Amino acid sequence: MDFSLSDEQRQVRDWVRTFVRREVMPLETEVLRRERAGERGFTAERSKELQLKAKQAGFWGVLTPQEYGGMGLDAVTAALIEVELGRSFVPFSLGGTADNILFQANTEQRERYLLPTIAGERKSCFAITEPGAGSDARNIRTTARRQGGDWVISGEKTFITGGNEADFAMVFAVTDIEKGADGGVTCFLADRDMGWKSEPIDTMGEWGPAALIFEEVRVPAANILGEVGGGFRLAMQWIGQGRYLLPARALGSCERLVGMAIEQSKTRITFGRPIADRQAIQWMLADSAVEIEALRWLVLHAAWQVDQGVDSRHAQSIAKLYGGVKANEIVDRVLQIHGGMGYTRELPIERWYRELRLLRIYEGTDEIQRRTIARNLLKGHVGVGGYLG
């Protein structure tokens, strides 16, 4: 087995690493200051400015096919990029992307939604989660009823990433209650000016989700994405598009955090000796290093499966579960090594602490990942140690 990266993968990784160090990390102090003043730490204007700067070097649409102006990179390279972006808590991502299910759009919809989104002219959000339908996506209660040539949507969505900024939503609603999720749920492309509203949800971190309110929102039948009744299949396609990218970003955060802990252990003196000489500290560093390497290969293996055309859902669930749990353990150790200073807002560790906690909840909770993994084993879809295939 060859674990080496190709020349192109190394070049891409190194360019992004340099970009993050030169362009993104210098913004961290400003971002923290703004967040702690109750403002938005990283503005859309600054994000677009950096995205365009990266675009000048050809970094645009990492996973977007080349025929749409993207780079069309493989999944492993995309994971390597996400690791580098994760080295900073500044919520920056490269531009030129669109939700994978938007590529199911018909010709007219591509002109109105897909292409402007890739170009950065429009912003979308994926709206499926509801107050009573989080991980249980089959329990959707938002409805859409036919009225002439339109559909009228009523209901509420919650914890929608990008919902406050989006100008259109991919909203999932029940169109045939008798058929249930399989055949009874449809995805609609609903522009904000059609009448839906968003309300910010305050969280312990800087992730700013929204509640979306649909009160008799009229959407033309031409705005159905895919087919009537085909929404649940699209939703599962979206959810499974890149779970490996979430722990990949956490991996970059953990690498930087442990680097900070190593530096702290060498410079912090207690009882006449650096705390790096204490076995308790050494074991924290050692355990973190082992877990980082384990996470690296879980992430890259899941991405490799995607590139091979193998069903990667099981491997992605393993990577996300392990990444969420271990990232939280690692940041906790790093905070502990920094002692009281780690708990203060003078250092960014508490910021990472709050941010990484989210990884165990969104895009499938730890419990959902365990359920998925266990069901695959119990139903014989995979064997213990046999998912290498």
Residue 376 CB-half CA count within 13 A = 20
3-state SS, the chain, equals CCCCCCHHHHHHHHHHHHHHHHHHHHHHHHHHHHHHCCCCCCCHHHHHHHHHHHHHCCCCCCCCCHHHCCCCCCHHHHHHHHHHHCCCCCCCCCCCCCCHHHHHCCHHHHHHHHHHHHCCCCCEEEECCECCECCCHHHCCCEEEEECCEEEEEEEEEEECCCCCCCEEEEEEECCCCCCHHHHEEEEEEEHHHCCEEEECCCCCCCCCEEEEEEEEEEEHHHEECCCCCHHHHHHHHHCCCCCHHHHHHHHHHHHHHHHHHHHHHHCEECCEEHHHCHHHHHHHHHHHHHHHHHHHHHHHHHHHHHCCCCCHHHHHHHHHHHHHHHHHHHHHHHHHHHHHHHCCCCCHHHHHHHHHHHHCCCCCHHHHHHHHHHHHHCCCCCCCCCCC
> What letter represents residue 93's amino acid?
S
Q: Which residues contact 7 (CB under 8 A, 6 or more apart)?
A: none
Residues recognised as catalytic: 363
